Amino acid sequence: MNFKINKEEMLYILNELLRTKNMSTCAAKKVACVLYSRRPVDGELVPYMASGYNKSVSSCQCNTQFQKIDGQWFFLNKNKEWKHDDTGLKHKLWSVTHEVHAEIMALTEFSDEKPYEEKLAVVTWSPCLDCCKSLINANVKTILYQYEFDNFEEIKELCKECNVDLCRFEVKNGVCYIDDIPLEEA
């Protein structure tokens, strides 16, 4: 991996990822992103972290407008009644205009007076193409994701072209694995 990390750092990041993921207001997917770097302070490298989750740009939150129950989509109509949406298309269209992705929220929070410093991004879902471009532009050298999202092959190719590691992580029996390798060996 381009950005080396130890078990204690990863545990710290995963705790923040879980906390942040639970703040998500999206009815479809709970997405969170944690950006992590080490900054020199008094001759020592000090961890620096920022997090974000997917949320709406206004006071109108996704989970107040849409519900997904047993794989079925429902939306709140103008009469404040829940109606069935066969395809989930209403949610998809609404979220394109109203939702800000977790990666963008984390980048906004990340005080970037040192844009050259290398960063690690840990996300619940692999980033979309626009978020991936934004992470790469912010000098993220390694992206760890838990689940694959849409356009994954395009994301993989872009990361390869830009020399950014894109690795899947999972936690099994208290051990963190990165691309099926225990963290200690990755």
Q: DSSP for 163-183? A: T-EEEEEEEETTEEEETTEET
Statement to judge: residues 159 and 90 lie in one domain? no
CATH number at residue 106: 3.40.140.10
List Cβ neighbours of 1 (8 Å cut-off, separation of 6 or more).
142, 165, 167, 178, 186
Record the pTM: 0.84
Statement to judge: residues 45 and 108 lie in one domain? yes
AA identity, residue 139: N
Statement to judge: residues 93 and 115 lie in one domain? no
Asked if residue 140 is part of any domain, the answer here is yes
> 105-137 b/e with 16+ CB inside 10 Å = b?
bbbeebebeeeeeebbbbbbbbbbeebbebbbe
Confidence (pLDDT) at 113: 59
Confidence (pLDDT) at 45: 74
Among residues 42, 69, 99, the one where a domain terminates is 99
Parent domain of 131? 7-54+101-182
Q: What are 122-180's pLDDT values in tens digits?
A: 999 999 999 999 999 988 999 999 999 888 999 999 999 999 999 999 988 888 889 88
Phi and psi based region of residue 80 (left: phi greater than 0; alpha: psi -120 to 50; beta: remaining)? left
> 169: exposed, middle or buried (C-beta count within 10 Å: 0-12, 13-18, 19+)?
buried
Cα–Cα distances in angstroms (integers) from residue 41 to residues 45, 47, 100, 134, 165, in the given order:
6, 10, 32, 26, 27
For residue 118, pLDDT beyond 90:
no
Statement to judge: residues 64 and 79 lie in one domain? yes
Statement to judge: residues 47 and 105 lie in one domain? yes
For residue 186, pLDDT beyond 60:
no
Tokens of 132: 């991936």
Asked if residue 2 is part of any domain, the answer here is no
Statement to judge: residues 47 and 60 lie in one domain? no
Number of domains in the chain: 2
Statement to judge: residues 157 and 168 lie in one domain? yes
Asked if residue 1 is part of any domain, the answer here is no
Asked if residue 87 is part of any domain, the answer here is yes
Confidence (pLDDT) at 185: 65
